Chains A and B, each alone.
Chain A
Amino acid sequence: MREAIEGSAAIAKAVAMCRPQVVSAYPITPQTHIVEGLARLIADGDLRAELVSVESEFSAASVVLGAAAAGSRAYTATCSQGLLLMTEVLYNIGGLRIPVVLTCANRAIGAPVTAWNDQQDSMAMRDTGWIQLYCADNQEAVDTTIQAFRIAQNAELPVMVCVDGYVLTHTLEPIDLPSQEQVDQFVPPYRFSRALDPRNPISIGNLVTPEYYTEARHAHHRVLIRARDEIISADRDWAAICGRAWGGLLTVDGPAEARVAILTIGSVMGTLLDARQARPELGPVKLIKLRSMRPFPVSELIQACEGLSDLIVLERALSPGGGGIIGAEVRSALFDLPSKPRIHSFAAGLGGRDMPLEIYARLLERIAQPEPAQFAIFDLELDRLPLQER
C-alpha cells in the first residue's frame, strides 16, 4: 500500500519489519528521525527489541557488534562525525565479519563544521570491509534496508545502507511499504554460524601474527567480492515478492545508442533523470547508477561502458590532494579496455550545495572541451574565495 511518509520514518518501519532484536544508536542529525521512529515502535510494543541508548557512536557500533556476535539481529544508524567516531569499531566489525546493518544518513564532515549532505562520511569508510549500498530514493532505501538484513545474514558480513541526509531522510514521498508477511518470507530467522555460545565455546578476535594475517585479509577480501552474488540475488528475490528491482550492483538507464553517460551515486540520480527528460535536445545520454560501492562491480561497469565515447563521473565527495574517489576507481576499472571512453571526473554538491536540474546541461557542455577533466569540483564559485586561495 502506498502512503506519503518521511524517508526516515519509512526506513524505521522497514528496519522494524526485519525484526532486529537489538537496536543501538546515538543522536546525530540527520539520522535521528530513524532511531526516534524505532524507539516509538519499541515503546508501543510494535517491535520487540532492546533499545540500547549509548553515550557515543563508538559504543553504538560496539553494542551491535556484541549483540550480533551473540547471535541476534542488530541495527544501528549514524552519519558524518558519528560515523568517523565509529571508525575503529567498523573496521573491527568488518574484519570479524559480523552481520550487522547500519544506515548512514549521508552528511558532510567538518572542518569546516557543517550539518548538510554529501557522501564524504561513507566514502571515508569504504575500506572498512563492509558491503556498501547507496540509494537513489526512499522507495529504494526501504527495499535496500530489507535486502541488507538478508545480505548480512547470508554473507555473514556487515552492510552499510547509505541514504542522502535531508534529501532523502527528511523528504516525504509516496512509498509502498511491504507487508510484514512479505518481509518475514524474505528475511527468515537465522542462526549465526559463529555465535558466542557456552554450549559451543569459541574465541573471536584472537591475536593474529604475520604467519596468518595476510591470509585473514585475503579471506575477507574474497568473501566481500563474492558477496556480489548475494546482493544480486537479494534484489532479484525481493523483486519476486514485491515487484520492485533496483538493479543489483548497478543500473544503466537510457538508449542503447547513447555515446555519453553520466555515472553517479545516491539521490542526484533523480535530478539527472528529470533533467534528461526535460532536455531531450541535448541528445541521447545513459545514466549509470552505482548502487554497490563495495564490492565494486568491475565487470558490470565494463559492460555498462561498452561503446561509450565519454563517461562523466559525478560524486559528492573527494580525496583532497588526490581527486575523485569513485572517479579514480572507475578509471582503474576501465583502464585495460582496448577502446575506453574519455573519463571526466567531477565532485559537486559538497556540504549540501544544491544540485539543480541545470547541472545536467552544464556537464554535457563541459565535455565538449578538447581535454577531459582529470578531476575538478564542478560547482565551485571561485569568487567566494580570497584571491590567494583561488
Chain B
Amino acid sequence: MAIEQTHDVNELRRRQPAFRGLDAGHLACQGCGQALAARLVTEATGPDIVIANATGCLEVFTTAWPRTSWRVPWIHSVFANAPAVASGIEAALKMQGRSTKVVAMGGDGGTFDIGLQALSAMLERNHNVLYVCFDNEAYMNTGVQRSSSTPHAAMTTTSPPGRERMGKRHLRKDLLSIIAAHHIPYAATASVAYPSDLRKKVRRGLAIDGAAFVLVHSPCPLGWGHGGELSIEVARLAVQTGIFPLVELERGSVASAMALRQVRPVADYLKLQGRFRHLFDGSPAAAEELEHLQALANHNIELYRLRADTPGARDSEGADTVRRGGLRWA
C-alpha cells in the first residue's frame, strides 16, 4: 500500500479533529490517561451527544463549579447509576424524535464494580447508548484503592505488598467476557496509546443502533507510579505485551484483534510502574508472580490470536503511525 509521507506541522494540525467536547483548562494531573481518552472520545463523537458521567476523577477534574470543561451537554448524578441515567436520556430523546446520541462514561470502579448491575440492565435492554469505561485499574479518585479491575499482584493502598502478601490477591475481572455474554451489537477495547484506533471504535459504537461498549485502557501516573511523560509508553506496552489486547466483538464474538508485530515481555511493562516494584525484589514469591502475569499475557495472545504473521499498517507497531508517515516503529 502507498504510504503517505508528510512532516508539515501545519498540515498535521489541520488534520487534527476540529471538535473536542472536553476542552482545556480542567484540573487533571499531568499525563492523565483518562483526560486524554475522554477528549479523544468526544473528538470522535462530535457535538451532537449527551453524556451521562458516573462519579469519579473525570467528573471531579472537569466540572468544579462554576466552571466546566465540557462543550457538550453533560450530567453527573451518582456513582452507580450512569447507565440508568443514560437509559432515561435515550428513552426521552427517542420519544422526542431526536437523533442525538447518548454516551455514558465511567471509570473501572463505576463500571466493573458499583455500576455493573445498572450496566448489565442497560445492555440487556439494548438501549441506543455507547458506554465508555476509562480503565485505570483502581479507585484513583479516592486515593488508589483496589477495584475488581486491578491486575493480580498490583500494589494499591488496599492491596499493599507486605511480609505475607504480594499485592492484590485476586485476578482482574474479565469484564469483556461479561459484556460479551450480553450479545450486544458492538463491544471493543481500546487504548490511549492508539488514538486513531480508539476514535474509530467510538465511531463504530456510536453508528450502531443499540448498546455499544468500549473499554479504554487509561494509565494513571499517580496510581501506577510512573512519570506523566510515560503514560503513552506504558499504555502501548500493555498492548504490545498482550496484557491489554485490543479487540472488537460483534454480538459477543471476536470480530477483530490488533496483531502484535513484536511481542514484548510483560516485565518491560511492569518495571516502568511503581505498583509492580515489589515484583522485582528477586524473591522466589516475586518471580512466581512475574511468571503468573506473563502467563496471563500469553493466554490473551493465544485466546485472541494476537501474533502477527506479517507486519501490517494496523498492527501494534503500525497502527496510529500512518498519519505521521506510517510504520514508523517498524
Which residues from chain A sit less than 8 Å from chain B, CB to CB? 21-22, 24, 48-50, 52-56, 58-72, 74, 88-89, 92, 96, 196-198, 200-209, 212
Contact = CB atoms under 8 A, between A and B. Distances in A.
Given A48-B95, A59-B117, 10 more contacts: A59-B118, A61-B81, A62-B87, A65-B81, A67-B92, A201-B70, A203-B75, A206-B63, A207-B63, A207-B64
A197 B63 contact: no
Contact of A50 (B81, B95, B118): B95
A205 B117 contact: no
Contact of B88 (A55, A67, A204): A67
B290 interface: no
B288 interface: no
Interface string B113-145: 000011011001100000000000000000000
A53 B121 CA distance: 9
Contact of A74 (B48, B75, B92): B92
B77 A70 contact: no
A89 B118 CA distance: 13
A72 to B, nearest CB: 4
Contacts of B63: 203, 205-207
Contacts of B72: 198, 201
Contacts of A63: 84-85, 87-88, 91
A64 B55 CA distance: 18
Contact of B77 (A22, A52, A205): A205
Given A52-B87, A201-B70, A212-B66, A59 B59 contact: no
Contacts of A69: 75, 85, 88-89
Given A59-B84, A196-B50, A50 B91 contact: yes
Nearest to A24: B88
Nearest to B53: A205
Given A22-B92, A62-B118, A196-B89, A201 B66 contact: no
Nearest to B69: A203
Contacts, number: 161
Contact of A201 (B73, B84, B86, B95): B73
Nearest to A59: B84
B283 interface: no
B100 interface: yes
B88 A62 contact: yes
Contacts of A68: 88, 92
Residue among A58, A65, A212 with most chain B CB within 10 A: A65
A212 B65 CA distance: 8
B23 to A, nearest CB: 11
Contacts of B88: 22, 24, 52, 62-70, 74
Contact of B50 (A60, A70, A96): A70
A327 to B, nearest CB: 33
Contacts of A22: 88, 91-92, 95
Given A198-B48, A198-B72, A207 B81 contact: no
B66 to A, nearest CB: 7
Nearest to A197: B73
A77 to B, nearest CB: 15
Contacts of A72: 91-92, 95-96
Contacts of B65: 206-209, 212
Contact of A89 (B59, B78, B89): B78
Given A62-B77, A70-B50, A198-B72, A21 B95 contact: yes
Interface in B57-114: 59-60, 63-66, 68, 70-78, 80-81, 83-96, 100
B85 A206 contact: no
Interchain residue pairs A-B with the least CB separation, the first 4: A66-B88, A62-B84, A205-B76, A72-B92
B85 A66 contact: yes
Contacts of B71: 201
A54 B96 contact: no
18 contacts: A21-B96, A22-B91, A24-B88, A50-B94, A52-B91, A55-B118, A58-B118, A59-B117, A59-B118, A59-B121, A69-B89, A71-B96, A196-B74, A203-B75, A205-B59, A208-B65, A209-B64, A212-B65
Contacts of B77: 62, 65-66, 89, 92, 96, 205
A59 B81 contact: yes
B225 interface: no
A58 B104 CA distance: 17
Most buried by A among B71, B81, B84, B90: B84
Contact of B95 (A49, A62, A197): A49
B89 A67 contact: yes
B121 A54 contact: yes
B208 to A, nearest CB: 19
**B52, B53, B81, B96: which has the most chain A beta carbons within 10 Å?**
B81
A201 B59 CA distance: 16
Contact of A54 (B70, B84, B93): B84
B85 A62 contact: yes
A52 B121 CA distance: 10
Given A22-B92, A59-B84, A66-B85, A198 B118 contact: no
Nearest to A208: B65
B76 A198 contact: no
A200 B74 CA distance: 11
Contacts of A54: 84, 87, 121
Given A21-B95, A65-B88, A196-B50, A92 B78 contact: yes
A55 B81 CA distance: 12
A54 B65 CA distance: 32
A21 B118 contact: no
